[in-house]
Amino acid sequence: MSVRLFVEGALGSGSAVLLDRDQSHYLANVMRKKQGDMVSLFNGKDGEWQATLATVEKRVVSLDVIQQTRIQETEPDLWLAFAPIKKARLDFIAQKATELGVSSLTPVMTRRTIVDRVKTDRMLTNAIEAAEQCERLTVPAVNDATKLDAFLTELPADRKLMFCDEDKTGEESHAALQSAASKAEPGAWAILIGPEGGFDDAEREKIRSHPGCVPVSLGPRVLRADTAAMAAISLWQSAIGDW
């Protein structure tokens, strides 16, 4: 089975990579790779590279980088901001949003958010694993949790905000997204997903007052927050992203 790993350091022809303890353990003991075996590496900047295992010990594996197999490409500039949910479904959002191609993940605390602490390190681990498996060349940034007010205040005026409003007054998404994006390229976007109790009226008003706000509807059924996130990313990618 071919192995693909995200590494931190620079990648280039002839460079050497020393894996951290977890990755060394994974290659040596879980995947049982031997000296001379091939793996793929990416670091989010230098494309994808083929490397061979140079030294293999239980806790220390080093690699020789051989040749580039894919060049780094521009990816959609799509943030996912969402009211955090409990553990298993938070893992799930980090994995699926990575597969579906978001560029960053930001937990946003709202008045009706129940979860009060978010393990962003765990989200990042999930995002890295998903990126390794889905053949992405990047790992989405995982940001610290922030309050909705601060998120909206700091959201640049020229970044569009796909607002999945459960009050069902949003527009049909495909048309709304295409008309908000310029013809040449989608530009910078964020998707905002509320908590399962919904945003309250004051929050909704503040969201709608952002200059880039594009309210869209996700249909007549009540979607759980993780389902809504996956649906919204899929619709964005299909309408104006790289699908």
Q: Which residues bind its own copies (CB under 8 A)?
A: 92, 96, 99-101, 133-136, 172-174, 217-224, 227, 230-231, 234-235, 237-239, 241-243
Please identify, using beta-carbon distances, which residue of 56 and 90 lies nearer to its own copies: 90
Kindly state the smallest distance separating residue 12's Cβ from its own copies, in Å.
24
Give 183: exposed, middle or buried? Use CB within 10 Å, 0-12, 13-18, 19+: exposed
Kindly state the smallest distance separating residue 49's Cβ from its own copies, in Å.
18
**What are the backbone dihedrals phi and psi of residue 93, each rounded to the nearest 5 degrees, phi first?**
-60, -45
Please identify, using beta-carbon distances, which residue of 32 and 221 lies nearer to its own copies: 221
Please identify, using beta-carbon distances, which residue of 208 and 224 lies nearer to its own copies: 224
Do the beta carbons of residue 174 and residue 239 sit within 8 Å? yes
Kindly state the smallest distance separating residue 227's Cβ from its own copies, in Å.
5
Q: At what angle do helices 120-134 and 87-100 cross, to 10 degrees?
A: 40
Kindly state the smallest distance separating residue 6's Cβ from its own copies, in Å.
14
Give 32: exposed, middle or buried? Use CB within 10 Å, 0-12, 13-18, 19+: exposed
Please identify, using beta-carbon distances, which residue of 156 and 219 lies nearer to its own copies: 219
3-class secondary structure, 140: coil
